[in-house]
């Protein structure tokens, strides 16, 4: 498997480079239309943090904070885009002020000009680190046997059963499955936790961290994204003793606000060498690789969260940092995003799904959701979790309280008894943007804020496409442009892709399906009709779920010939909505 993992890394890098160079070879007009560049950037200055600020007139791009971009002073094509430009990290997009803030990456400053263009950049920072980590791992028989499914995960001799039981008695109230997972994490070399939506996975991992540190174990937390790492650190720090150090290895640019208990430093900060056990450190897997060169930093246990989104090769640097593991995820939610489709089948899986198959008899599946009420939970539980996921007593009967207002022209959509509403439109030929649908979604979001007093933090809008999200955001901000208070509220509402909302929850979710072009749906069926994507999209909400889309999105209504399993899933979901009186047919002009 060593050689296969090395080829996986090289294949991913090659595929990403080819993809970006192919984008650059297209005309600027094509790149802009398809969300691959922003033109007309005007340099505005450098802020106190050294970030270069550019204004823009229009932004249809798929760029987000954290992306590596290349900025040029003129419109170029092909290899000239990279060769002539300056690489920068995109730190922030300010949609209300129409500003980009970027951090320079290399020696040269980005251009201080008034007609710049930003494209997707490329530079291979990490593949050599990953390949070296794999070589190190395959010199360690314990890690090799673990990855190949041959490890004995038996109870060790650190604690007696009575000692473990006494630890459990000190924990906060837990479900039976959560207690089982905590017992395993305290006793065994590896614990695998499947956490369906809202099942208290983060709460459980925080408890495992606290119990581990209480017996002197230092913990490394990692995940595919900084956001996932931050969420777990924030959950853990609420219950950790003040005497224990909590460190977050920060990424590029200005770090997000975290609790004052969490010290955010760079991976080469000398304070890491002064840590005294037990300590908790959160870092990406690339930063975890650098810990291998720091002989003063030792971990007893590694917690890998959102492991269902992490490729096998990416988990290796984390595994090298300790001999005990807690691997948590849910292979029924979104898998890793891979650039190449040419990898052998086992390597297309996440590290969670791969290990889930290797150690299926010891995986602990959480079975109670504290998020979804019984109506929202019904379909995903039956379809994705063998009808084993049940709402907790506090969640089961939770309802969204609508406020009927004569001025609200969408009360026929919002003020319904059902927790799930599918607003069915009849537009055709939409691909990655649907203007009429974007406008209706923006109106629903505005109504929820204005007439139903939903807070911005309790609402999120998701769709499969970044370009469609940009259209929704633009319409949303336009709809409140005459009211500064509402504009501030609207700017706080998350409008993003399904992928970015995994692991998050809101009281209300608007899921905009967008596509209605038949040929596009056939070509992108594996993406658009992914069971995992549907599962994530419809399980973010606690009390109210709105789906908005054309009836021509549904394959069986549009004569779309695709994989029979995907066709059956979406026909089943449509019939579920129909049988439960969840469908509202809406005229575009109403």
The residues, ordered by sequence, that sit 6+ positions from 261 with a Cβ below 8 Å of its Cβ are 237, 240, 242, 246
Q: pLDDT digit string (tens) for 391-401?
A: 999 999 999 99
Mean pLDDT value across the chain: 92
Tell me, what's the pLDDT at 105? 73
Tell me, what's the pLDDT at 392? 96
In the three-class reduction of DSSP (H, G, I as helix; E, B as strand; rest coil), residue 145 is classed as: helix
Please say if the pLDDT value at position 252 is more than 90. Answer: no
DSSP 536-581: HHTTSEEEEEEEEEEGGGSGGGTT----HHHHHHHHHHHHHHHHTT
Average pLDDT over residues 142-163: 75
Query: Is residue 373 within 8 Å of 542, Cβ to Cβ?
Result: yes
Please say if the pLDDT value at position 65 is more than 90. Answer: no
Share of the chain above pLDDT 70, in %: 96
CA diameter of the chain = 71
Over its C-alpha atoms, the chain yields an Rg (Å, rounded) of 24
Query: Which of 170-179, 199-208, 312-321 shows the lowest mean pLDDT across its residues?
Result: 170-179
Tell me, what's the pLDDT at 96? 82
Please say if the pLDDT value at position 251 is more than 90. Answer: no
Tell me, what's the pLDDT at 254? 64
E strand segments, 158-272: 190-194, 219-222, 245-249, 262-265
Q: pLDDT digit string (tens) for 271-288?
A: 998 899 999 999 999 999
Predicted TM-score (pTM) of the model is 0.91
**Where is mean pLDDT largest: 63-67, 223-227, 549-553?**
549-553
**For 383, left (φ over 0), alpha (ψ -120 to 50), or beta?**
alpha
- Work out the angle between the directed axes of helices 201-214 and 226-237 (0-180°, nearest 10): 60
In the three-class reduction of DSSP (H, G, I as helix; E, B as strand; rest coil), residue 496 is classed as: strand
- Cα–chain-centroid distance for residue 394? 26
Share of the chain above pLDDT 90, in %: 80
Please say if the pLDDT value at position 168 is more than 80. Answer: no
In eight-state DSSP terms, residue 133 is: H
What pLDDT band is residue 61 in, cutting at 50, 70 and 90?
Answer: confident
Q: pLDDT digit string (tens) for 172-199?
A: 789 999 999 999 999 999 999 999 999 9
**Cα separation of 88 and 94, whole Å?**
17
Please say if the pLDDT value at position 295 is more than 80. Answer: no
DSSP 568-579: HHHHHHHHHHHH
E strand segments, 189-278: 190-194, 219-222, 245-249, 262-265
What pLDDT band is residue 160 in, cutting at 50, 70 and 90?
Answer: low
Q: pLDDT digit string (tens) for 469-512?
A: 989 999 999 999 889 899 999 999 999 999 989 889 999 999 99
């Amino acid at each position: 498997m060593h050689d296969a993992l090395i080829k996986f890394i090289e294949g991913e890098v090659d595929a990403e480079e080819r993809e970006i160079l192919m984008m650059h070879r297209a005309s600027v007009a094509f790149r802009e239309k398809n969300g691959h560049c922003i033109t007309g950037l005007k340099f505005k200055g450098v802020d106190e943090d050294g970030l270069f600020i550019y204004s823009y007139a229009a932004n249809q791009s798929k760029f987000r904070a954290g992306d590596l971009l290349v900025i040029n002073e003129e419109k170029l094509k092909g290899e000239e885009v990279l060769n002539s430009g300056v690489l920068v990290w995109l730190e922030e997009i300010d949609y209300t002020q129409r500003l980009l803030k970027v951090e320079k990456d290399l020696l040269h400053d980005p251009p201080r000009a008034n007609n710049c263009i930003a494209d997707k950049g490329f530079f291979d920072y990490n593949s050599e680190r990953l390949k070296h980590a794999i070589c190190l791992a395959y010199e360690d028989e314990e890690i090799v046997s673990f990855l190949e499914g041959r490890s004995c995960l038996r109870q060790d001799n650190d604690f007696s059963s009575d000692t473990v039981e006494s630890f459990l008695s000190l924990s906060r109230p837990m479900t039976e499955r959560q207690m089982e997972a905590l017992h395993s994490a305290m006793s065994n070399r590896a614990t695998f936790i499947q956490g369906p939506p809202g099942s208290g996975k983060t709460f459980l991992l925080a408890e495992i961290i606290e119990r581990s540190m209480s017996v002197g174990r230092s913990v490394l937390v990692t995940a595919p994204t900084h956001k996932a790492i931050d969420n777990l650190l924030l959950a853990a720090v609420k219950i950790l003793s003040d005497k224990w150090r909590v460190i977050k290895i920060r990424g590029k640019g200005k770090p997000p606000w975290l609790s004052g208990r969490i010290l955010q430093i760079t991976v080469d900060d000398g304070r890491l060498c002064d840590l005294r056990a037990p300590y908790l450190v959160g870092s990406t897997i690339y930063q975890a690789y650098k810990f291998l060169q720091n002989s003063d930093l030792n971990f007893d246990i590694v917690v890998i969260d959102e492991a269902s989104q992490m490729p096998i090769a990416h988990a290796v640097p984390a595994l090298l940092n300790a001999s005990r593991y807690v691997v948590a995820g849910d292979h029924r939610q979104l898998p890793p995003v891979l650039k190449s489709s040419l990898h052998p089948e086992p390597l297309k899986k996440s590290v969670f799904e791969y290990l889930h198959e290797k150690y299926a008899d010891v995986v602990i599946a959480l079975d109670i959701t504290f998020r979804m009420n019984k109506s929202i939970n019904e379909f995903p539980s039956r379809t994705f979790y063998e009808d084993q996921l049940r709402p907790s007593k506090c969640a089961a009967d939770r309802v969204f309280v609508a406020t009927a207002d004569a001025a609200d022209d969408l009360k026929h959509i919002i003020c319904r008894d059902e927790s799930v509403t599918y607003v069915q439109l009849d537009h055709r030929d939409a691909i990655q943007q649907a203007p009429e649908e974007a406008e209706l979604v923006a109106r629903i979001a505005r109504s929820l804020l204005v007439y139903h007093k939903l807070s911005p933090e309790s609402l999120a809008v998701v769709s499969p496409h970044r370009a469609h999200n940009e259209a929704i955001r633009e319409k949303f901000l336009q709809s409140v442009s005459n009211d500064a208070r509402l504009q501030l509220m609207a700017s706080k509402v998350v409008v993003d892709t399904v992928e970015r909302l995994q692991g998050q929850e809101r009281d209300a979710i608007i899921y905009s399906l967008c596509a209605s072009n038949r040929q596009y749906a056939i070509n992108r069926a594996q993406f658009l009709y992914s069971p995992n994507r549907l599962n994530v999209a419809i399980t973010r909400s606690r009390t109210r779920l709105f789906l908005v889309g054309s009836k021509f999105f549904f394959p069986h209504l549009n004569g779309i010939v695709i994989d029979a399993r995907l066709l059956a899933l979406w026909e089943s979901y449509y019939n579920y909505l129909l049988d439960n009186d969840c469908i509202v047919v809406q005229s575009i002009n109403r």
